[in-house]
Amino acid sequence: MTAAVSIQHLSKQYGAFIALNDFSLQIAAGEFIVLLGPSGCGKTTLLSMLGGFIEPSFGQIVIGGREMTHVPPAKRPTATLFQDYALFPHLRLIDNVAFGLRMRGMGRGERRQKALACLETVGLASEAQKKPHELSGGQRQRVALARALAVTPEVLLLDEPLGALDLKLRRQLQDELKSIQKQLGTTFIHVTHDQEEALAIADRIVLMNSGQIEDLGTPQQVYLNPRSRFSAGFMGEANFLPATVKAIHSDVIGVQTEQMALSLPIAAFKRITPAIGQPLSLCIRPEHFMRAEQRFSLGSALVQSCDFFANHWRCQVLYGGHRLKVYRPLEAPPKVGQMLDLSVPKECLVVLKDE
Ligand code: ATP
């Protein structure tokens, strides 16, 4: 069974320092939620409170309709997967996975069957008789996942579980985690500071900053329509151009950048309500300079550097007094010193508050 999680006004204070600040979030049953954010923003603190390892200063946690705020970890319908696999070195994999079931009083035959089924889920049933030291790092983390799943948690809490693995293995295990989560339908709450990981696996990303929610939505929403400059910059490369609102019409907003006057579609103003004289930031992702449809000219810029990035060229250009990052298609490598016409599809411009 899966569970909905309701977090209401949750806070954690250490003396005068607020690690989590009035945090509220509703999570649907079966959702894959990723808590993303820079080091120290409160991700682990939140996860530890959901697991019952840290007592909240204020607020409430409800899991599957049951009040859990002060319930000890072993009595919660949660299991936690940590970055360091914490397997018992002297136990075979099957006994490692069955350990929690033994603690819960399940009979030997039944727990071995369940442990084998969980090892099967993570693709390690054939290794069941091995010991942890005979495995690779990735395999050990799969065993730890099998062990966490064996107790059939309603919510699995994952604290940077792939953080210790090399990039290639991490990408592979991300795909596996996502497909196992969809297959089981268990609610996953996964902590990472890797935005590519968040984009790859989340149903919804919760971007955190200083103990609060900075942005929230599907990967597409958060990446393409960030709520703030912090969010745009954290989720990937972004350019910001200062501008001022000059005119407001029913379907377009006139803005003035340092370089030119632009008529922006009203759709670009999803995050703020325009007001005459208001200072703004125009957010443009570097890859949007590569898109062909309905282009919107921003004038030209001087190419200062151009580096090969496997599936595109990554250029630094000088646009007025601003240095921008611009991606160009492989078939059209710009030369350093040349002038490059910059244009983007209208729907890719996002107008943000000037912070
Ligand atoms: P990381 O990605 O580095 O693990 P995080 O987002 O998980 O960071 P937390 O571990 O939740 O961050 O910590 C949030 C803040 O709370 C940090 O500034 C940390 O120093 C502080 N903090 C955590 N535990 C304690 C504690 N026991 N006493 C005092 N401050 C603490």
Q: Amino acid identity of 110?
A: E
Q: Residue 352 CB: number of other CB atoms within 10 A?
A: 24
Per-residue pLDDT tens digits for 308-321: 999 999 999 999 88
In DSSP terms, 337 is beta-bridged to: none
- CA separation for the pair 181, 320 (Å, rounded): 48
19 Cβ closer than 6 Å to some ligand 1 atom: yes
- CA separation for the pair 247, 224 (Å, rounded): 25
Phi (first) and psi of residue 134, to 5 degrees: -85, 5
Residue 245 token pair: 């609102």
45 CA to centre of ligand 1 in angstroms: 6
What order of strands is seen across the sheet that includes strand 32-36?
A: 78-81, 155-159, 187-192, 32-36, 204-209, 212-217
Q: Amino acid identity of 338?
A: Q
Which residue puts its alpha carbon closest to atom 24 of ligand 1?
Answer: 45
Which of 17, 195, 207, 214 best tests ligand 1's pocket when mutated (most atoms within 8 Å of CB)? Answer: 17
Asked whether residue 90 carries a pLDDT value surpassing 80, the answer given is yes
* Per-residue DSSP letter, 29: T
Highest mean pLDDT of the ranges 81-85, 135-139, 224-228: 224-228
Work out which ligand 1 atom sits closest to the CA atom of 12: 16
Domain boundaries, the chain: 5-232, 237-353
Asked whether residue 180 carries a pLDDT value surpassing 80, the answer given is yes
286 Cβ closer than 6 Å to some ligand 1 atom: no
Contacts of 220 (CB under 8 A, 6+ apart): none
Report yes or no: 352 and 272 within 8 Å, Cβ to Cβ.
yes
Q: Which CATH superfamily includes the segment(s) 237-353? A: Nucleic acid-binding proteins (2.40.50.140)
In the chain, the percentage of residues whose pLDDT exceeds 70 is 98
14 Cβ closer than 6 Å to some ligand 1 atom: yes
211 Cβ closer than 6 Å to some ligand 1 atom: no
Could you give the 3-state DSSP secondary structure of residue 230?
Answer: helix
Asked whether residue 2 carries a pLDDT value surpassing 60, the answer given is no
Identical topology for domains 5-232 and 237-353: no
Could you give the 3-state DSSP secondary structure of residue 98?
Answer: helix
Instruction: 17-25: list long-range contacts, CB under 8 Å, 24+ apart.
Output: 18/211, 19/45, 19/211, 20/45, 20/46, 20/49, 20/56, 20/211, 21/210, 21/211, 21/212, 22/58, 22/59, 22/212, 23/59, 23/211, 23/212, 23/213, 24/59, 25/206, 25/213, 25/216
Phi (first) and psi of residue 13, to 5 degrees: -115, 140
- CA separation for the pair 15, 11 (Å, rounded): 12
Mean pLDDT of the 193-208 span: 96
What order of strands is seen across the sheet that includes strand 339-345?
A: 322-328, 313-319, 295-308, 339-345
Contacts of 145 (CB under 8 A, 6+ apart): 81, 122, 161, 177, 180
- CATH T-level fold of 5-232: Rossmann fold (3.40.50)
pLDDT at 207: 98
Asked whether residue 341 carries a pLDDT value surpassing 80, the answer given is yes
pLDDT at 150: 92
Mean pLDDT of the 256-265 span: 88
Asked whether residue 169 carries a pLDDT value surpassing 50, the answer given is yes
Mean pLDDT of the 34-48 span: 96
236 Cβ closer than 6 Å to some ligand 1 atom: no
**Residues composing the chain:** 355
Asked whether residue 295 carries a pLDDT value surpassing 80, the answer given is no
- Concatenated DSSP letters of 130-167: S-GGGS-HHHHHHHHHHHHHHT--SEEEEESTTTTS-H
Report yes or no: 98 and 114 within 8 Å, Cβ to Cβ.
yes
pTM recorded for the entire structure: 0.92
CA dihedral 60, 195, 351, 293 (to 10 degrees): -140
Asked whether residue 3 carries a pLDDT value surpassing 60, the answer given is no
Asked whether residue 326 carries a pLDDT value surpassing 80, the answer given is yes
Asked whether residue 306 carries a pLDDT value surpassing 50, the answer given is yes
Q: Which residue, among 174, 116, 127, has the nearest Cα to 149 in the 3D structure?
A: 116
- CA separation for the pair 79, 50 (Å, rounded): 10
Which strand (E) or helix (H) includes residue 263? strand 261-265
